[in-house]
Chains A and B, each alone.
Chain A
Amino acid sequence: MTIWFLAGSEAERRLLPGGTLRGPTPYVIAIMTFAMTVVAAAGLALANAAGIVAGAVEHRYVLQLPDGTDGKLDAAVSAARTVRGVTGVEAVPEAELRRTLEKWLGRGGIGEDLPVPALIHLELNSGTDADQVGALLGRAVPGARFIAEQATVQPLLGSLRALRWLAIALVLLMAAATSAAVVLAARGALDTHRSTIEIMHGIGATDEQVALLFQRKIALDAMVGALAGGIAAALALLLIGGGGLALASDLTGGPPLGGSDFLLLSLLPIAAVVLATLVARFAVLSALHKVI
């Protein structure tokens, strides 16, 4: 396909003089491709982070007891193990809870007389009806609260998903801006070469033949721009984004971008070239339809 874009005889190329990098198109495409790739990478990383976080807590629940003393915690653990669908039960040691609370209340703020709730982490089988498990545990351990961990991270997940949609919207906006820039470039090229077009039309050239000349020229400009923008984006992601990616990896426990993400990102410059070429073709044909 790329070869077809750039095909055409030397004579055909001579019809529209002005080499690559002479007009604004390659620069605009380079900037837009760079921005689109970086924003798309951020959007994909956010989507992946949301997925990893959501996946990690999807089947995890907490059973919270107001008071775990006097063997109530052991009894609750035993009761939880008997419930069908519960695959993992792990009581959080009281000392660990107190250490956590010390971070907030200070060393002196938490004494032995301060009642500390007991917590039990539960892992449910996928497909298990959580409401039913909650009801069973509620009857087995009176006063206990059955909490989905997903609910606690819901605000974070909501933010991550909103940012992902924002990234998608930004990529689409940049694609629209690229299209607008290409339309302007195509119209500029049409104005520059108006006399050539009139002569070609006058001696029997079809709109298709004229459009193909401009299409090839803009495709070549777009290829150079997209290649430059793509390389710059890759370098930026590797050099500047490396630290951020490592941090994201630590936070979510998984790589922020996978193989399919890199494949998708590498397709963006190609998409930019195809978009620019199609938009140029449409703009040229529309303009040509206004003449006889």
Chain B
Amino acid sequence: MARRRSHARNRQTRRGGPLSPIVEFESVGLRYGTGAEVLRDLDFRLAKGGFYFLTGPSGAGKTSLLQLLYLARRPSRGRIQLFGQDLSDARRNVLPDYRRRIGVVFQDFRLIRHLSAFDNVALPLRISGQSDAELEGPVREMLAWVGLADRASARPPTLSGGEQQRVAIARAVISQPELLVADEPTGNVDAEMAARLLHLFTALNRLGTTIVVATHDVSLIARTPGAQLIRLEKGSMSDPTGSLRNPPMGAVQPL
């Protein structure tokens, strides 16, 4: 049912009309504790259905920015709107509903070590209330898609780094999120698998999912025409053309 709702939302997104940004940052800053700000004065909008690469040197704040995007942190200042809602100071009991609309591929995979690959991938569907019978098919299909059909019962410690990454990606996309946030998703896979994953992301993007990928892999960026680049340096964003502040809302082009 949640799957059908997600499809409906995506279809609505793709039908055109005046589209609002899916993500909007206004003067956002983030600091840890009493330290200096790791993110400063971030002002940007991400259009629904867009494909974005987040780049920048190590320590530039990419992971911190992604954490703000997938609601793992609150900004120290400024305003963050996701899905048209200001979530900067939202009560914590409303956040799970928004998190379910976001798929996340963590840099360190964050798989649950004692669960099988199948159970890890099935987790978002179980959390959203699907029964075992409902989720069996989609999970098997997703595992097959990432090439792990025969590793469904394997636990993460017995999987290679690349296999774990694919399980993490399968878990992130299984519920067809409206926003997919991926932190170095191809860091541990070979070139062929990287191409397949990119293909998966572009396929999701065609269905209306907004994709944000943090990566150092320039070849990935080069192989994705139409994707926009967000560059972070020392916690600040460079947007020389201004396209991230004012993206073309009514003209989101599928890749």
Instruction: List residues of chain A with CB within 8 A of the CB of B180.
Output: none
Tell me whether A203 is interfacial, beta carbon within 8 Å.
yes
Q: Is B127 in contact with A11, judged by CB distance below 8 angstroms?
A: no
Q: Is A195 in contact with B110, judged by CB distance below 8 angstroms?
A: yes
Interfacial residues, chain A to chain B (CB-CB below 8 A): 9, 11-12, 14-15, 17, 195-196, 198-207, 209, 289, 292
Q: Is A206 in contact with B93, judged by CB distance below 8 angstroms?
A: yes
Alpha-carbon gap, A289 to B93, bound state (A): 9
Q: Is B112 in contact with A15, judged by CB distance below 8 angstroms?
A: yes
**Closest CB of chain B to A266's CB: distance in Å?**
38
**Closest CB of chain A to B163's CB: distance in Å?**
18
Query: Which residues of chain B from 43 to 72 have a CB within 8 Å of any chain A CB?
Result: 70-72
Instruction: List residues of chain B with CB within 8 A of the CB of A202.
Output: 70, 72, 99, 104, 106, 110
**Closest CB of chain A to B179's CB: distance in Å?**
12
Residue of B nearest to A18 (CB): B114
Instruction: List residues of chain B with CB within 8 A of the CB of A12.
Output: 126
Tell me whether B97 is interfacial, beta carbon within 8 Å.
yes
Instruction: List residues of chain B with CB within 8 A of the CB of A199.
Output: 110-112, 123
Q: Is B71 in contact with A205, judged by CB distance below 8 angstroms?
A: no
Instruction: List residues of chain A with CB within 8 A of the CB of B95.
Output: 292
| A203-B123 in contact given A17-B114, A198-B110, A292-B74 (Cβ < 8 Å) | yes
For A292, give its contact among B72, B112, B128 (CB under 8 Å).
B72
Tell me whether B192 is interfacial, beta carbon within 8 Å.
no
Tell me whether B40 is interfacial, beta carbon within 8 Å.
no
Contact flags (1/0) for B216-245 with A, using CB distance below 8 Å? 000000000000000000000000000000
Q: Is B92 in contact with A292, judged by CB distance below 8 angstroms?
A: yes
Alpha-carbon gap, A258 to B120, bound state (A): 55
Alpha-carbon gap, A9 to B127, bound state (A): 12
Contact flags (1/0) for B119-148 with A, using CB distance below 8 Å? 100111011100010000000000000000
Instruction: List residues of chain A with CB within 8 A of the CB of B106.
Output: 202
Tell me whether B96 is interfacial, beta carbon within 8 Å.
yes
A-B contact pairs, 22 of them (CB 8 A): A9-B132, A11-B122, A11-B132, A15-B112, A17-B114, A196-B112, A199-B123, A201-B99, A202-B104, A202-B110, A203-B100, A203-B104, A203-B171, A204-B124, A204-B127, A204-B128, A206-B93, A206-B96, A207-B93, A289-B92, A292-B71, A292-B74
Interfacial residues, chain B to chain A (CB-CB below 8 A): 70-74, 92-93, 95-97, 99-100, 104, 106, 110-115, 119, 122-124, 126-128, 132, 171
Alpha-carbon gap, A274 to B73, bound state (A): 35
Q: Is B110 in contact with A14, judged by CB distance below 8 angstroms?
A: no
| A14-B104 in contact given A203-B124, A204-B127, A205-B96 (Cβ < 8 Å) | no
Alpha-carbon gap, A17 to B220, bound state (A): 39
**Closest CB of chain B to A202's CB: distance in Å?**
6
Residue of A nearest to B124 (CB): A203
Q: Is B114 in contact with A14, judged by CB distance below 8 angstroms?
A: yes
**Closest CB of chain B to A156's CB: distance in Å?**
58
Instruction: List residues of chain B with CB within 8 A of the CB of A203.
Output: 99-100, 104, 123-124, 127, 171
Which 5 A-B pairs have CB atoms at the shortest separation, nearest pair first? A204-B100, A204-B99, A206-B96, A204-B96, A17-B114
**Closest CB of chain A to B74's CB: distance in Å?**
6
Alpha-carbon gap, A204 to B97, bound state (A): 6
Alpha-carbon gap, A206 to B91, bound state (A): 12
Alpha-carbon gap, A207 to B124, bound state (A): 15
| A200-B114 in contact given A9-B132, A292-B71 (Cβ < 8 Å) | no
Alpha-carbon gap, A290 to B213, bound state (A): 29
Alpha-carbon gap, A200 to B73, bound state (A): 15
Residue of A nearest to B74 (CB): A292
Q: A203-B99, A204-B100 are in contact. List 20 more A-B contacts (CB 8 A).
A: A9-B126, A9-B132, A195-B113, A199-B111, A199-B112, A199-B123, A200-B127, A201-B96, A202-B99, A202-B104, A203-B100, A203-B127, A205-B127, A206-B93, A206-B96, A209-B127, A292-B71, A292-B72, A292-B92, A292-B95
Alpha-carbon gap, A199 to B108, bound state (A): 12
Alpha-carbon gap, A209 to B114, bound state (A): 19
Alpha-carbon gap, A204 to B172, bound state (A): 11
Instruction: List residues of chain A with CB within 8 A of the CB of B93.
Output: 206-207
Alpha-carbon gap, A196 to B119, bound state (A): 13
Q: Is B73 in contact with A292, judged by CB distance below 8 angstroms?
A: yes
Residue of B nearest to A209 (CB): B127
Alpha-carbon gap, A209 to B100, bound state (A): 14
For A11, give its contact among B71, B104, B126 (CB under 8 Å).
B126
Alpha-carbon gap, A209 to B99, bound state (A): 14
